[in-house]
Amino acid sequence: MLLDGSLAAGSSLNIDGIARQLDVSPTPVREALARLESTGMVRRVALRGYSVAPSPTDKELADLMDARIAIEPVSAWHAGQRGTGQFLAELDEAVTLLETVRTGPTYQEFRDYWAADERFHQLIAEAADNPYLLAAYQALGGLIQRFRQFSGVGVTDRDQAVAEHRAVLVALRDGDSDRARDLMRAHIEAVKSRSLAERHDA
């Protein structure tokens, strides 16, 4: 609901109303909102309850991408040192999905693409075999995709993103950790640039 646009940025979240909509008790809704608060997708104000976080600013988007640049290239380097054959096969599968799944302007049309993109990065974070790097990556939660959701234009950089992901995969398959690290950095810097540009073109 937060990602598909049915809950608008800045709107209030009524726990009892959501519980009725989902046909559950208020307790799991309250627990879910508490967990979502740590991702930045919802905010809680004392005496006022929860609301959907407002549309992110350019600085917030840039800061998020800079955090990714600090974490993910290092993870890619370690994945090149520690990744297994199964890891490479699963990574190849994620890139193939990026190339082939349906995309379009609505969340329902591009959610499988986003899932494949997220899977690619998650696999690398896990293959690095460093719990602290993994925790740092996971702390970003749903923010990565949420920030792109607010551009309102869906997937506009599929060809570039697929090529960048495949280049990282090839470097990892070749056992070239340094190149994998550098290509991951270049990929996230390119995503940062494209995401900022599409926000202003939307």
Q: What is the CATH number of the domain that holds 119?
A: 1.20.120.530
- Report the pLDDT value the prediction gives residue 133, as an integer from 0 to 100: 96
Q: Please tell me the total count of domains within the chain.
A: 2
What's the DSSP call for residue 7?
A: S
Mean pLDDT of 140-164: 72
The 10s digit of each residue's pLDDT in 171-198 is 999 999 999 999 999 999 998 998 888 7
Burial class for 1, CB neighbours closer than 10 Å (0-12, 13-18, 19+): exposed
Q: Which residues neighbour 56 within 8 Å (Cβ) at sequence distance 6 or greater?
A: 64, 146, 147, 150
Q: What angle do CA 72, 78, 80 make, to 5 degrees?
A: 105
Same structural domain for residues 119 and 42? no
CB 186 within 8 A of CB 72: no
Same structural domain for residues 42 and 86? no
Same structural domain for residues 105 and 184? yes
What pTM does this model have?
0.82
Residues forming beta bridges with residue 13, ordered by sequence position: 50
Residues forming beta bridges with residue 52, ordered by sequence position: 42
Same structural domain for residues 148 and 168? yes
Q: How many residues does the chain have?
A: 202
pLDDT of 200 strictly over 80: no
Mean pLDDT of 24-51: 89
31-45, 64-78, 103-117, 158-172: range with lowest mean pLDDT: 103-117
What stretch of H or E contains 120?
helix 107-127
Task: Supply the range of the domain harboring residue 35.
Answer: 12-52
- Report the pLDDT value the prediction gives residue 122, as an integer from 0 to 100: 95
Residue with tokens 């990556």: 137
Same structural domain for residues 97 and 35? no
Q: What is the mean pLDDT of the chain?
A: 88
Residue with tokens 């609901």: 1
- Report the pLDDT value the prediction gives residue 40, as an integer from 0 to 100: 76
Per-residue pLDDT band for 39 (boundaries 50, 70, 90) equals: confident
Burial class for 125, CB neighbours closer than 10 Å (0-12, 13-18, 19+): buried
CATH number for the domain that contains residue 38: 1.10.10.10
The 10s digit of each residue's pLDDT in 95-114 is 999 999 877 766 777 778 88
Residues forming beta bridges with residue 49, ordered by sequence position: 45
Query: What are the structure tokens assigned to 101, written together?
Result: 């799944």
Same structural domain for residues 122 and 151? yes
- Report the pLDDT value the prediction gives residue 56, as an integer from 0 to 100: 79
